[in-house]
């Protein structure tokens, strides 16, 4: 991120799986999330949105605020920023 900043690149969009998303969140490198939610449910063996090992209490959770909530086809798009 420091190298990108030196090149005046101030924003990076990442479409990530649970492992990378969790690592970026734990490193404090996320200040905005865009999350799409489909009206479907999966079982407990499915991968979650973010892998956040050791985070087991709400008091430890990163805090975000809703900036926008909109329906996109059958899905919902959440635009979140850090609180």
Let me know if residue 2 belongs to a domain.
no
> What range defines the domain where residue 67 resides?
31-42+50-83
Residues 6+ apart with CB under 8 A from 49: 18, 21, 35
Model confidence at 4, pLDDT cuts 50, 70, 90, reads: confident
Please indicate, yes or no, if residue 8 is contained in any of the structural domains.
no
Residue 58: inside a domain: yes
- Phi and psi at 67, nearest 5°, equal -100, -35
User: Could you tell me if 50 and 18 are in contact, meaning their C-beta atoms sit under 8 angstroms apart?
Assistant: yes
Number of domain units in the chain = 1
pLDDT at 62 over 80: yes
Is 20 a member of any domain? no
Domain assignment of residue 67, yes or no: yes
Q: Is pTM beyond 0.85 here?
A: no
Which percentage of the chain shows pLDDT scores above 70? Answer: 100
For residue 57, tell me if it sits in a domain: yes
Position 71 scores a pLDDT of 98
pLDDT in tens, 10-38: 888 999 999 999 999 999 999 999 999 99
């Amino acid at each position: 991120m420091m190298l990108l900043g030196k090149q005046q690149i101030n924003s990076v969009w990442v479409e990530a799986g649970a492992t990378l998303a969790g690592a970026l969140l734990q490193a404090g490198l996320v200040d905005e999330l865009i999350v799409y939610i489909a009206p479907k449910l999966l079982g407990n063996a499915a991968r979650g949105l973010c892998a956040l090992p050791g985070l087991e209490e709400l008091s430890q959770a990163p805090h975000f605020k809703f900036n926008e909530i909109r329906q996109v086809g059958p899905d919902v798009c959440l635009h979140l920023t850090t609180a």
